[in-house]
Amino acid sequence: MPRSVAVDGCGGTLRDEASFHYKSFLNNRLIKIGACTIWLKVENGLLIGDMEPCTEEQLDAVLEQLQKLAKKLGINEITFQFIPHSVLDAALKKRLPVYESWAIGYKNYASDIPLDKLRFPYGDLDTF
């Protein structure tokens, strides 16, 4: 299962087979491009919910294949949303224009996890 944010002692939403099954009614899919698994959805463009971290060369191949897929589907926009300062965010900033996005709010009810260690990519939103 793709997990771009579970690095450097950070965590987020548990993703297991049950969680992907639960969200499958929203028409998102896991696809494999080369060595990288990508979680995507076709809705007003090609939306990337998350993906496995990969090398610079693998990322270039993934971007090329995503562009080909979008073209075949008649889609002219691919949207990535990643956590600032994450590995994938840094790699994508070198290749694509970056735009500010929305913030995610937290309410800590009973956890000792520091908020700066929680990270949620696009796929973790309820609508993905």
User: Per residue of the chain (128 residues), what is the pLDDT tens digit?
Assistant: 555 555 566 666 666 777 777 777 778 888 999 888 888 889 889 998 888 888 889 999 999 999 999 999 999 999 887 777 677 778 888 898 887 776 666 677 777 777 676 666 666 666 65
Q: CATH number for the domain including 75?
A: 3.40.630
Separation of alpha carbons 97 and 87, rounded Å: 16
Count of structural domains, the chain: 1
Name the residue range of residue 84's domain. Answer: 17-124
Give me the pLDDT at residue 7, please: 56
82 in a structural domain: yes
69 in a structural domain: yes
2 in a structural domain: no
Give me the pLDDT at residue 6, please: 55
10 in a structural domain: no
* Cβ-based neighbours of 46, under 8 Å, separated by 6 or more: 40, 66, 69, 70, 73, 75, 77, 78, 79
3 in a structural domain: no
